[in-house]
Amino acid sequence: MRRRGMAPSKICRRLKVNRKLVCRTLKRGTTDGLPGTGRPVTVTTARMKKIVKKHLERNPCRNMRKMATELGA
């Protein structure tokens, strides 16, 4: 829409979204999402969750880092 010469305020009205959202998106230059912050999630499979749950049921005072290295997570 912007390439066709439509102003941000008109885009807002047409899409029924906040003006700030449109301006930020135009400034970024793409509709792709922003890059995530923090460390990416490595393992969240149902199988891995079940294994971790079993380990914690056996010993609830278990060291998380030690368990992660043992499981290869």
Q: For 32-68, what is each residue's pLDDT tens digit? A: 666 777 787 777 788 888 888 888 898 888 888 888 8
Nearest to 25 by CA among 38, 12, 40, 44: 12
What does the DSSP 8-state code read for residue 41?
Answer: P
pTM over 0.75: no
Looking at the fold, whether 27 and 52 belong to one and the same domain comes out as no
Would you say 42 and 69 are in contact if contact means Cβ atoms under 8 Å apart? no
Q: Tell whether 73 and 50 lie within a shared domain.
A: yes
Q: What is the structure's pLDDT at 55?
A: 87
User: What's the domain range around 21?
Assistant: 1-32
Both 27 and 48 in one domain: the answer is no
Measured over the CA atoms of residue 43, residue 44, residue 47 and residue 48, the dihedral's sign is positive
Pair 27, 46 in one domain: no
Is 37 within the bounds of a domain? no
34, exposed or middle or buried, with CB in 10 Å at 0-12, 13-18, 19+? exposed
